[in-house]
A and B are shown apart, each in its own frame.
Chain A
Amino acid sequence: MTKHMRFALVMAALVVGLYLSAAVAVSVGTSGLGFRDAAKALLGRAVSPTAAAIISLRLSRVALAMVVGASLGAAGVALQALLRNPLADPYILGVSGGGALGAAIYLTLTSSGMAAFAAFERWGFSGLTLAAFAGSLLASAVVLFAGRKGGHILPGTLLLVGVMVNAISGAAIMALTYLTDVAQSHNIVVWLMGNLGTLSLTRGALAAAAVVAVFFICGLWTVGGRLNLMSLGDEAAAHLGVNVGRTRLVSFVLSALVTGLSVALAGPIGFVGLVVPHITRVFVGADHRLLFPAAAVFGATFLVLADAAARAAFLVFSNPAAPEARPGMELPVGILTAAIGGPFFIWLLRTRRARYFE
Chain B
Amino acid sequence: MKRLLLAARSTFAALAIFLAAAPVVSPAERAAAPAHVASTSSSVAPAKQYRRIVSFSPGVTEIIYKLGGQDRLVGISSFSDYPPEAAKEKPQVGAILNVDAEKILSLRPDLIISPPGAMAKEKLTRLGADVEFLPDKTLDDLAKSFVRIGELVGRPAEGRALSAELASAVAAAKKRNASRPPVKTLIVIGYEPMWVAGGYGVVDELLLAGGGQNVAGAVRKDFYAVSFESVLASEPDVIVDLTLPDDAEQAARDAIVAFWKRFPTIPAVKNSRIEFVDIDLLTIPGPRLVDGLARLEKALRPQESLAPRPRPADAPSPASGGSGSEPSGARQMTNDASRGGGSK
Contacts and interface: CB of A to CB of B under 8 A. Distances in A.
A113 B265 CA distance: 22
A105 to B, nearest CB: 16
A5 interface: no
B228 A128 contact: no
A30 B97 CA distance: 33
A58 B195 CA distance: 19
A182 B225 CA distance: 15
Contacts of A324: 218
Given A30-B230, A185-B97, A197-B193, A328 B255 contact: no
A115 B265 contact: no
25 contacts: A30-B229, A30-B230, A31-B229, A31-B230, A33-B233, A48-B343, A50-B344, A52-B265, A113-B256, A114-B255, A115-B253, A118-B255, A118-B259, A178-B98, A182-B95, A183-B190, A187-B192, A197-B193, A197-B228, A311-B227, A311-B229, A327-B219, A328-B219, A328-B231, A329-B224
Given A48-B344, A190-B193, A202-B262, 15 more contacts: A30-B230, A53-B232, A57-B229, A113-B190, A113-B191, A114-B191, A114-B243, A115-B252, A117-B191, A190-B225, A200-B259, A326-B230, A328-B227, A328-B233, A328-B234
A109 to B, nearest CB: 15
Interface of A: 29-33, 48-50, 52-54, 57-58, 111-115, 117-119, 126, 128, 178-179, 181-183, 185, 187, 190, 195, 197-200, 202, 311, 324-330
A199 B228 contact: yes
A325 B265 contact: no
B130 to A, nearest CB: 25
Contacts of A330: 227
Interface residues of B, number: 42
A182 B96 CA distance: 9
Contacts of A57: 228-229, 232
A41 to B, nearest CB: 12
A50 B232 contact: yes
Interface string B93-114: 0011110000000000000000
Contacts of A113: 190-191, 243-244, 252, 256
Contact of B226 (A181, A182, A328): A328
Nearest to A322: B218
B243 A182 contact: no
A311 to B, nearest CB: 7
A329 B219 contact: yes
Contacts of B255: 114-115, 117-119
A95 to B, nearest CB: 21
Interface string B228-252: 1111111100000001100010011
B218 A327 contact: yes
